[in-house]
């Protein structure tokens, strides 16, 4: 039998302990055997090794190779300036790697937060003496003494209990405090045993003595910690796309480089010249500015989200939000406010909805004992918080006291004479107070126990016999409240003559009424749920709370619409195979209740196997493994534990589920914006590549040097590309379903537009500018120019300047792939405007300052070169606008054709 199924004496004996505690010698021996009572670290790679791994990703390796080749080329031909290229590429690698490294701290921070949940000192009985020891010294078999407000230091089995109630929310997710007693439990699962106290939870009320049976990593808290540590890192869709893009572009660059190296070798180009040419091809084809621009775009997106109360802890999760297809959400503290409130009263056969105090104040005179019981019958403690008096204890009792204070003109303070504490068997609490009419007992508890003690009922201020008909009406009212997911309490009272005689105090009571309490949903949640459904995002409640409560809340917030949604409990889920779970996840309206930490992660894994992009919300320690396992974990910022926050990818600063909708909107915009600046970046790769092809195939001077290529990637185009990355979301973005996982960041449509349309036009303009300068200077085909020849420097400068001019036009064209520049506007994106200004300033500095000429190998060009390039820029604008117009026409014709077909079908179906 498990320890919670044994009697208290049997439990102590099974741990080879005594009611007086362990001997000090035995405690020392057990400490050596079982280890300190703390959450241990799992052996992981060193921080330095993880730091170095950031610089060995596939894309980074390609750049390292390119940098190495650049230095090799510099060694062989120092005058080519390839060392500058190498240093610039290394800078790109360092910036990208440093931005990514900070995520590796998450696991360590999670463990720190877990350890903080355990108290530092604990009272323990050893050798029949009570000592206060460090919590890490606690061992199995120790007898610990606990009272209201204490954190539970280890997994314990109660052996003495007086009015014990515990808050298990951080471990099990249950929103309501649970009563605990010493009697053997019939529960099959230890975690739900009514005599079990779990490490990391807290005592809401009462006093207890318990025997420790699990410490450190062997506790339920420790098991959650291990799940959090060993669950693998989830690769985000963005990471997959960037990896795919990196492999594709790198393979293409290397392939083209090798092909043209072979061509150069075949036509007897000198080896080092051919080698430098091949490196130039690779540098031209690999968009070195992609990773830094992508990272900065994500950083700016996180800043926008922070203004909308969403804190992003992990950059790729910004874009992942836009791909989310399922949100698995906790109930307590996520969909609800995590505080109890009185929703409904039943007084004298009448239902009362306490929307406002004035609506129930009219009942105060006739049902004064009911409100006095709500105000006086509790175990709350009064304290101060931020200079104000507040009540500490059970949220349910706090809600009842607040309700009574609104109704009673001057809340009375009658001295308490006696108390019969709450326990799991009695399911009620009774207190005796000194009243003006003599000692009076007030009782509250579960209706099924309180109603049996009543023989009279209070109706309109008068006592009447509690007839079977009235008793049945009270039970029907209780059932009606319970079906709404409310927690129902019954109240009764009587005057007593001998307060100290507990045996007969709770007899012949007067029933005063029922109160239905709920943990109310957040007011913004129903609209947020509706928006999620409109955006094609499924929301599944996964909670540790009672199935009835979960079902009622789900119906109230619009998460379920039918009368009988499917509710799967943790006990049922435990019997499901992987196949059964995956099939049940197809149910349209589905709720999971009473689930544990490992089960929540199992649900997430099953959804991932069904090719869903999964987001998980949570606030407790029990949520941490699932938060870490999901594509994106979302923790609550106010009510969430440190463990949940550290395991999550993002935190809702206002604990508002509606903020998730805002974040998803931003995330969807990020994907589209990445495609925009990817089109923009890849477009100038073509005019960077064509010069090398011309150099190899047609024996012309090299129109663009590698260092000039990098000046475009890393300088002139950087801010404008970033401006495309922060474009505002499309107004219709949340009315479309999530994008398919088969949809690539880099697809054929983007490649054709970037490479064969925009890029090709830019290449024509840049090469035309290059030859315009050469021909104007008297160059003849076949004539070789030295790399320091003024004519050659001016020609390469013209080629570089033409690309920059074309990119200035292109940035406005890339703001949308179908909307006209007229509709997107020229000045609505300030960062693009400033980027254009910076681009103009940089190209002027590059062309007309001595240091720009020295660093990038340029020379001043005359004004007629700029005038020569302008028609090409206008042509790019006209051609792209024509392409967009034709796309819009095709879309319109397609939609109109569908409408006409529907009309024909409709008319054809008429008699």
Residues in the chain: 911
739-to-235, 302, 534, 639 alpha-carbon distances in Å:
17, 21, 14, 32
In DSSP terms, 722 is beta-bridged to none
Q: CA distances (Å), 439 to each of 33, 380, 415, in order?
A: 56, 21, 10
CA distance 606 to 612: 9
Give residues with Cβ within 8 angstroms of 387, minimum separation 6. Answer: none
From 142, 150, 274, 330, the catalytic residue: 330
Q: Is 509 left (phi over 0), alpha (psi -120 to 50) or beta?
A: beta
Give the count of beta carbons closer than 10 Å to the beta carbon of residue 190.
19
**Distance between CA 455 and CA 464 in Å, rounded?**
9
Its sign, for the CA torsion 738, 740, 741, 743, is negative
In 635-662, which positions are buried (b, 16+ CB within 10 angstroms) versus exposed (e)?
bbbebbbbbbbbbbbbbbbebbbbbbbb
Q: What radius of gyration, in Å, describes the C-alpha atoms of the chain?
A: 36
Residue 654 appears among annotated catalytic residues:
no
Residue 457 gets which letter from DSSP? E
Distance CA(169)–CA(175), nearest Å, equals 6
Distances (CA, A) of 499 to 417, 442, 491, 827: 7, 12, 19, 81
Q: Which two tokens stand for residue 387?
A: 């200079």
User: 449-455: which pairs have CB atoms within 8 A and are 24 or more residues apart?
Assistant: 450/490, 450/491, 450/492, 450/509, 450/511, 451/475, 451/490, 451/511, 453/492, 453/506, 453/507, 453/508, 453/509, 454/492, 454/508, 454/509, 454/510, 454/511, 455/508, 455/509
Q: Which of helix, strand or coil describes residue 318?
A: helix
Reported as type and span, the H/E element at residue 863 is helix 863-908
Q: How far apart are CA 625 and CA 618, in angstroms?
A: 10
Residue 119 Cα distances to 123, 220, 623, angstroms: 11, 16, 21
Whole-angstrom distance, CA of residue 51 vs CA of residue 49: 5
Q: Pairing state of beta strands 416-420 and 438-445?
A: unpaired
SS3 for 766?
helix
Name the CA dihedral angle for 239, 241, 247, 251, rounded to a multiple of 10 degrees: -160
Three-state secondary-structure class, residue 218: helix
- Cross-strand partners of 439: 434
With 0-12 CB in 10 A as exposed, 13-18 as middle and 19+ as buried, what is 415?
A: exposed
- CA gap 372, 836 in Å, rounded: 72
**Residue-wise burial string across 78-100, b where 16 or more C-beta atoms lie within 10 A, e elsewhere:** eebbbbbbbebbbebbeebbebb
Whether the CB-CB separation of 701 and 798 falls below 8 Å is answered with no
Q: What is the three-class DSSP state of 328?
A: strand
Q: How many CB atoms lie within 10 A of CB 339?
A: 15
Diameter over CA atoms, the chain: 122
Active-site residue list: 330
């Amino acid at each position: 039998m498990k320890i919670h199924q044994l009697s208290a004496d049997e439990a102590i004996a099974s741990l080879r302990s005594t009611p007086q505690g362990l001997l000090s010698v035995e405690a020392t021996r057990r400490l050596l055997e079982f280890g300190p009572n703390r959450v241990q670290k799992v052996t992981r790679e060193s921080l330095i090794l993880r730091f170095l791994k950031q610089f060995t990703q596939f894309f980074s390796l390609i750049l390292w190779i390119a940098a190495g080749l650049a230095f090799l080329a510099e060694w062989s031909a120092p005058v080519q300036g390839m060392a500058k290229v190498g240093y610039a590429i290394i800078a790109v690698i360092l910036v990208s790697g440093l931005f990514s490294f900070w995520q590796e701290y998450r696991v360590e921070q999670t463990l720190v937060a877990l350890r903080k949940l355990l108290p530092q000192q604990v009272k323990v009985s050893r050798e029949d003496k009570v000592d206060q020891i460090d919590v890490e010294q606690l061992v199995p078999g120790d007898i610990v003494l606990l009272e209201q407000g204490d954190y539970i230091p280890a997994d314990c089995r109660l052996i003495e209990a007086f009015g014990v109630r515990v808050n298990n929310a951080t471990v099990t997710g249950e929103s309501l405090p649970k009563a605990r007693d010493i009697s053997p439990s019939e529960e099959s699962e230890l975690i739900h045993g009514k005599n079990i106290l779990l490490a990391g939870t807290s005592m809401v009320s009462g006093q207890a003595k318990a025997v420790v049976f699990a410490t450190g990593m062997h506790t339920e808290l420790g098991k959650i910690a291990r799940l959090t540590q060993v669950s693998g890192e989830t690769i985000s869709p963005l990471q997959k796309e960037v990896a795919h893009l990196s492999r594709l572009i790198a393979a293409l660059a290397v392939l083209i480089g090798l092909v043209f190296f072979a061509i150069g070798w075949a036509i007897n180009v000198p080896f080092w010249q051919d080698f430098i040419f091949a490196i130039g091809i690779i540098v031209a084809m690999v968009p070195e500015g992609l990773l830094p621009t992508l990272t900065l775009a994500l950083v700016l997106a996180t800043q926008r989200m922070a203004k909308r109360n969403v804190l992003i802890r992990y950059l790729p999760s910004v874009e992942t939000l836009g791909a989310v297809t399922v949100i698995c959400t906790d109930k307590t503290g996520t969909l609800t406010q995590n505080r109890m409130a009185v929703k409904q009263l039943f007084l004298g056969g009448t239902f009362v909805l306490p929307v406002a105090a004035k609506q129930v104040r009219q009942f105060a005179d006739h049902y004064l004992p009911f409100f006095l019981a709500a105000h006086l019958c509790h175990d709350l403690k009064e304290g101060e918080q931020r200079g104000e008096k507040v009540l500490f204890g059970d949220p349910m009792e706090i809600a009842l006291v607040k309700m009574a204070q609104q109704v009673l003109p001057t809340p009375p303070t009658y001295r308490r004479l006696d108390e019969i504490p709450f326990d799991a068997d009695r399911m009620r609490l009774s207190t005796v107070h000194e009243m003006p009419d003599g000692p009076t007992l007030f009782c509250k508890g579960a209706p099924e126990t309180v109603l049996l003690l009543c023989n009279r009922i209070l109706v309109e201020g008068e006592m009447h016999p509690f007839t079977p008909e009235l008793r049945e009406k009270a039970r029907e009212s209780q059932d009606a409240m319970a079906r709404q997911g409310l927690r129902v309490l019954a109240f009764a009272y009587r005057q007593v003559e001998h307060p100290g005689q507990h045996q007969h105090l709770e007899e012949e009571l007067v029933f005063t009424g029922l109160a239905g309490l709920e943990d109310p949903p957040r007011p913004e949640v129903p609209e947020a749920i509706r928006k999620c459904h409109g955006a094609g995002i499924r929301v599944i409640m996964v909670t540790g709370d009672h199935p009835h409560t979960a079902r009622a809340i789900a119906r109230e917030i619009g998460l379920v619409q039918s009368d009988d949604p499917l509710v799967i409990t943790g006990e049922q889920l435990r019997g499901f195979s992987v196949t059964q779970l995956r099939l049940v996840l197809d149910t349209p309206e589905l709720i999971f209740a009473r689930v544990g930490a490992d089960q929540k992660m199992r649900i997430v894994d099953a959804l991932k196997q069904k090719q869903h992009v999964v987001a998980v919300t949570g606030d407790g320690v029990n949520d941490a493994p699932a938060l870490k396992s999901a594509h994106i974990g979302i923790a609550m910022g106010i009510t969430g534990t440190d463990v949940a926050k550290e395991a999550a990818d993002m935190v809702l600063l206002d604990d508002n589920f509606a903020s998730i909708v805002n974040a998803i909107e931003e995330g969807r915009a990020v994907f589209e914006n990445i495609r925009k600046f990817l089109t923009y970046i890849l477009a100038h790769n073509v005019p960077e590549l064509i010069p090398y092809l011309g150099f190899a195939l047609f024996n012309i001077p090299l129109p663009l040097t590698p260092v000039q290529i990098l000046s475009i990637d890393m300088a002139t185009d950087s801010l404008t590309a970033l401006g495309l990355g922060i474009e505002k979301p499309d107004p219709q973005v949340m009315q479309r379903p999530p994008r398919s996982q088969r949809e690539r960041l880099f697809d054929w449509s983007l490649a054709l537009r970037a490479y064969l349309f925009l890029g090709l036009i830019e290449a024509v303009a840049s090469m035309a500018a290059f030859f315009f300068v050469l021909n104007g200077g008297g160059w003849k085909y076949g004539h070789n120019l030295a790399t320091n020849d003024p004519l050659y420097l001016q020609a390469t400068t013209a080629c570089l300047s033409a690309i920059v001019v074309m990119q200035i036009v292109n940035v406005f064209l890339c703001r949308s792939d179908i909307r006209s520049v007229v509709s997107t506007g020229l000045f609505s994106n300030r960062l693009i405007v400033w980027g254009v200004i910076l681009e103009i300033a940089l190209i002027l500095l590059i062309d007309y300052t001595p240091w720009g000429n020295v660093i990038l190998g340029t020379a001043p060009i005359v004004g007629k070169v700029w005038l020569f390039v302008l028609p090409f820029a206008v042509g790019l604008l006209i051609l792209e606008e024509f392409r967009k117009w034709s796309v819009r026409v095709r879309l319109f014709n397609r939609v109109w054709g569908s409408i006409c077909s529907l009309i024909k079908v409709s008319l054809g179906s008429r008699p």
